[in-house]
Structure 1
């Protein structure tokens, strides 16, 4: 076990070292500016795109690493990651990446990878909505494989408890503290009712609803989310107040038993993570610093660099 952890940490460190700040300074000096301008314009029209782009980056990095595989479309013989139940109908913002890629192809043909575009877009979304700025190394290459069955095997489930979450994040090289820190991304964006409806109806033999959920929140959610299987599956904000702002209100909500998902509220109910929640709820600026560092680390998970992979001409298809 110790050897596995040492090997995993060494692999992540070498991935970080293979990426570079200002990677496109010589080959496409306007690359990061083009991404930021495109994302800024898109988010100004639809603020919900900011959390969507961050979520897409997370879903990309946790499956095969940050290689842009989540952007690939399916082929007749292979359903891609986009077709997984965990992604289909919930991931959005692909058009922002496509527009950005088209702008960059016009400026610097086949130079900037789709994986880097997605990482830059997530960073810019964080800046626009949370004022959190961080320098992001780049040089990622695009993968050529995307498989729907791999998604559920790698992404954390909304019904995970703290221990299962910790195991999932540890498999990608993250500590418990980094796991709790990145979970703060649920201070903005939305979730489908299907991800938490189990907490609202017939929770167990003793409780009709999850007792760890604030009763007033549960009542409001029941008015929005039908309990019958196969019914409508609308979305609701993770945090009802200021749902488009990224900040530490997520942790303050957990203290009020207002976490939306099981995997949210478990962070306060577990002794191994509760202290981190309380500290993040109290110290906003410390959380933002840790969140920025964790986002840089997220962007280094399983990257392809050098001669590995390719730089796609179109983010939805391999060359």
Structure 2
């Protein structure tokens, strides 16, 4: 994607933010200094722990020692030309790990239309939950994988490339750099039927969110910390229409959303007839900066999605959201720890996986 489109997106976001600033909408919210975050097991209930299979920082020490640098060179160039690719890759990593584990199954492309495709099973990307994943994210991973293949053919999995690219984009947007454990293999299957119920929805309640996270072996602290990824990136208007026009059938906006944010969103997202491609920023104050403003926004009723705003209301998550709103260092620490746990879900090893040459195609299809 060329830099001109990235510039246009920045201009649209700037105009959106000016509407908010003109209304004195974006303020500061300082939360109290709190005690250390609960462990990932917080939240109650029984759940299985994430499956771990001996991932290591030096997994490619002998076979591809420069893999981190190779991937970083690609992501840095992409971020410069198209900064929206950063949060898109971060979202792609989440959608991959939450469906059958971190195994690059989300990267498998749908079969081309035609007679030969009629009997083929649908893949994860065919499902509605994944239809809006930006193509720029898939392209970035393919470019990074091609660069790795040119130096270390047949060695590094697409799953590891995706994990590294997500880390790189967090850092490039101002977030923490953290070491990524490696050793994943790519899944041999990608099944659409595994998607439904595996991913949070834009209007999920905290109960629903905790159930989804518990199914991955993750807890309340992980839910709050990983939701902070919404400090960067964008959502399509379809995900906010209910909140700004007809909250729970009332024909009124969600009372938990600041009225001036409702007004600004309505200017970008008409109730009908609007473009399905229009997006609005998750973080109305610093949408391109990986910081802790997301949590301050929640305190000020500036959460974009219902599932975001719910974190500041529910007693199980409210104190943690308040704590992270007032302490960027603690947010970074919590985010890194939760990314490590998420990146270890249901890892494929040995004959259960493969090392794809092209991330969008299974090994046998190349």
TM range (shorter): over 0.9
One of 157, 162, 166 as aligned partner of 2:201: 157
User: Is 1:86 matched with 2:122?
Assistant: no
Distance 2:264 2:296 in 1: 19
Q: Indicate if the aligned counterparts of 2:185 and 2:353 stay in contact, CA closer than 8 A.
A: yes
Deviations 1:174-229 (A, max 9, x none): 1111100110000110000111210011224556110010000001101111212x
TM-score by length of 1: 0.93
C-alpha change, 1:227 and 1:40, in structure 2 (3 Å) is: same
SS in 2 for 1:226: coil
Task: Give the number of aligned pairs.
Answer: 310
Give the deviation of 1:298 after TM superposition. 1.0
What residue in structure 1 maps to residue 296 of structure 2?
Answer: 252
Distance 2:182 2:249 in 1: 51
Distance 1:257 1:123 in 2: 29
User: Is 1:312 matched with 2:356?
Assistant: yes
1:220-239 → structure 2 map (5 Å cutoff) = 220-228=264-272, 231-233=274-276, 234-239=278-283
What residue in structure 1 maps to residue 181 of structure 2?
Answer: 137
Q: Indicate if the aligned counterparts of 1:193 and 1:225 stay in contact, CA closer than 8 A.
A: yes
SS in 1 for 2:235: strand
SS in 1 for 2:242: helix
User: Is 1:27 matched with 2:70?
Assistant: no
User: Is 1:172 matched with 2:208?
Assistant: no
Q: Indicate if the aligned counterparts of 1:181 and 1:287 stay in contact, CA closer than 8 A.
A: yes
Distance 1:110 1:205 in 2: 54
What residue in structure 2 maps to residue 66 of structure 1?
Answer: 102
Q: Indicate if the aligned counterparts of 1:19 and 1:305 stay in contact, CA closer than 8 A.
A: no
Distance 2:154 2:290 in 1: 33
C-alpha change, 1:73 and 1:302, in structure 2 (3 Å) is: same
Distance 1:80 1:66 in 2: 16
Gaps of 5+ in 2: 1-44, 112-116
Give the deviation of 1:231 after TM superposition. 4.2
Distance 1:51 1:206 in 2: 33
What residue in structure 2 maps to residue 275 of structure 1?
Answer: 319
Give the deviation of 1:78 after TM superposition. 2.2
Distance 1:262 1:153 in 2: 17
Deviations 1:12-67 (A, max 9, x none): 2x51x521111111001111110011111110111111111100000000001000
Deviations 1:284-315 (A, max 9, x none): 10111110111111110111123321000110
Distance 1:153 1:88 in 2: 15
Gaps of 5+ in 1: none
Q: Indicate if the aligned counterparts of 1:18 and 1:305 stay in contact, CA closer than 8 A.
A: no
Give the deviation of 1:153 after TM superposition. 2.0
Distance 1:142 1:204 in 2: 41
What residue in structure 1 maps to residue 40 of structure 2?
Answer: none
Deviations 1:246-283 (A, max 9, x none): 11100000001010001000001111111111101011
User: Is 1:292 matched with 2:336?
Assistant: yes
Deviates more, 1:206-215 or 1:248-257: 206-215
One of 71, 82, 95 as aligned partner of 1:46: 82
User: Is 1:195 matched with 2:249?
Assistant: no
TM-score by length of 2: 0.82
SS in 2 for 1:154: coil
Distance 1:54 1:136 in 2: 14
Distance 1:205 1:241 in 2: 29
SS in 2 for 1:252: helix
